[in-house]
A and B are shown apart, each in its own frame.
Chain A
Amino acid sequence: MTRILYLFVAELKREWILLRRYAAEAISGIIGLVIVFYGLFLSARYVAGPTAQLGDRLDAIVVGYVLWSLSIFILGDIAGSLQREAQTGTLEQILLSPLRVSYLFLIRAIANLSIQFLLNLFVLLAISALTGSQLSFSLAAVPPLIAVVLGAYGLSLGMGSLALLVKRVQQVLGIVQFVLLFLLTVPIETWAGSSQIFGMLLPMTPGAGLLRTVLAQGKPVELVPLAIALVNGCVYFGLGLVIFWWAEKIAKRQGKLAGY
């Protein structure tokens, strides 16, 4: 366990060094995200008309958008990391580690996420400043956020598996980004009956709905929806791990771990 902690710190240090050394890349990423959102916001306000008050709905959109950008990052992280390592010729050195590849890339992804959280905080502050949206930050948002992040890592491991087997996943990632936008912004909390049950089965959706309730509407988290969101996150995370193990085995059998 201490080894994992040391490795996490080493990964964090590596990411931080790279972020500082190549700060322009990170800053341009933040500016890009803020500009896209501000563009979307201006269009929405234009369509709604000058007198419309977006209020809670704007806050919900902000939460959805920031979650979306965070999830896109998580989703592409493992696959992207695998591809970058393969292209720069360090993947095999990484794979010579005594730790399982899936754990290694998860530790790395979590270290990346910590840095990304920081960057997203800047995005959130910038968006709030630009749009006048004021989110109520609450500790109650942490459990649903964990549920969303778990689901996102599950999908990320799935994309990583794909990257192990078919190498190039950019096209798939591009499409999945829009599926993600749907998953994270679809208001299943307003759905009823069988469609609500369907919504609960979708990856990350229950957690994202709860986050909107807490952050945008300032309501408390109810236990049952939270349990559903957490189970949903754990199931997708577990599925991701199993698929990754399977893909790793196939890639080793087919000799695909090395050459890109």
Chain B
Amino acid sequence: MKPKHLISVVPHVVKLLLSLGILWLTLDFKFRKAKKTFENELIRNGVPKEAAKRLSKKYEEMKNQLKRTVLSSIRGFP
């Protein structure tokens, strides 16, 4: 493949990376909203506040685990 052909692919690669980057950056914001809703829903349905906080920490753990997994797979990418 010639360099001029490669150049035609560059915009798409950049678009892909940008979209994934935006998703990565907005994950925390989305998660904060989800966590708040999750906690409120627990309390609204009769779970004590202490327990709700503990459970929402578990929910947060899942997000952290996801981030770690993604980062480690990027690092392990050949």
B is a partner of A: no
Interface residues of A (CB under 8 A from B): none
Point out residues on B near A: beta carbons under 8 Å.
Answer: none
